[in-house]
Amino acid sequence: MTSINFANTPIHPERQPSPARLGRMPRGRRQLVLLGVLALGVGAAFHWSWPVAIGAAPLLLSALACVGMCALGLCVSRMSGPSRSEDRPMEIRDAAVADSPYETNGFLVLSGGRWLLLKVTSMGILKPVALAFALIVAIVAPALAHSLEEVDKDLRDKDKYFQPVDSEAPAFTLQDANGRVVSLASLRSKVVVLNFIYTNCPDVCPLHAERIAELQMMINQTPMKAMVEFVTITTDPKRDNDEVLHEYGKTHGLDPVNWVFLTAAPDQPEDSTRKVAEAYGLKFTQGDDGVQMHGVVTHVIDQDGRLRARFHGLKFEPVNLVIFVNALTNRSQKPHGHSSPGFWDKLKGLF
């Protein structure tokens, strides 16, 4: 068998891939303008709020570039036919790549004496593509819903612990561990995730707090962080003083950037927070030993102060609550007519 050293095989100058032809990603102002135009276009097309559009634009741009590279690689590989390099010793092929005058992130494919393609390794490209699409699906899918009713129907089919609601949320005015007065009215323009616990609870309350921390972590990794407020109200103001409230959040991993723990003010009755819980349909019955019998419910209130959902217990899927909150941040609860489908409606249907 004749040994051929492909590393020394001359390449016709006209067929050498010019570095200028490989293209460059836009930098500086061009990149910002491109991202801005993409964000505006995506936001206008899908009726997203601008923070969600800005967050999704870079992901869309990255995913499209990755998919384009993969598609180009597959197409050219099929057009070029089976590679003759499979019959060559591995060390010869490696030498040819190593001695190539162009240093790249992948390798050049030689077929029929022509350098056809700058190819990237599959492991290097599949990971970014998968991650980008996972994030895009998490943000895009809920935003494509036409109304909150459609989101409600979808979640009812998926999660038996989800209960859609549409009523005025009971008002409350309480204070946090620093003595700052917080009312439901002061949280208008934000989606509120509300729950009731007491720190001396021996069983479900710590688990409920950890579930809220899990939801907060998921939401705070998205542009929704600035649009959502988590509110926990204690039903035992007598024992849950300021120091206890401060430590409870740290113990259970709750981030004070958009979470607040409320209690009754000094001039309010001791059972005032339990009456607030009862107004939300949750009864806390206090026994002689200080233990309270109660259920576990996570309430979701929209930006206009309307109670929109209850998630019962601790067995609901956290991602379902995040999807519901995302629909509210995109104002999907506002009704709008369904006219004949236009170009963007047909495009959204592809998803």
CA distance 164 to 335: 16
Q: Is the pLDDT of residue 15 over 60?
A: no
pLDDT at residue number 234: 96
pLDDT at residue number 52: 58
Q: Structure tokens of 220?
A: 């705070």
CA distance 154 to 320: 10
Give 246-288 pLDDT, tens digit per residue: 999 999 999 999 999 999 999 999 999 999 999 999 999 888 7
Q: Structure tokens of 194?
A: 């509300």
Q: How far is CA 311 from CA 78, 160, 296, 318, 319, in A?
A: 51, 9, 9, 10, 12
Residues 130-143 have a mean pLDDT of 50
pTM to 2 decimal places:
0.58
Give the domains, in start order, of the chain with CATH numbers.
6-17+25-142 (no CATH), 148-329 (3.40.30.10)
Residues 169-179 have a mean pLDDT of 96
Q: Structure tokens of 96?
A: 């040819």
Asked if 164 and 323 count as a contact pair (C-beta separation under 8 A), the reply is no
Question: Which is it for the CA torsion 44, 336, 154, 213, positive or negative?
Answer: positive
pLDDT at residue number 284: 92
Q: Is the pLDDT of residue 154 over 80?
A: yes
What average pLDDT is seen over the chain? 75
Q: How far is CA 308 from CA 139, 185, 298, 320, in A?
A: 20, 16, 11, 14
Phi, psi values for residue 203, rounded to 5°: -130, -80
Burial (0-12, 13-18, 19+ Cβ within 10 Å), 198: buried
Q: Is the pLDDT of residue 157 over 70?
A: yes
| Spacing of C-alpha 338 from chain mean position | 28
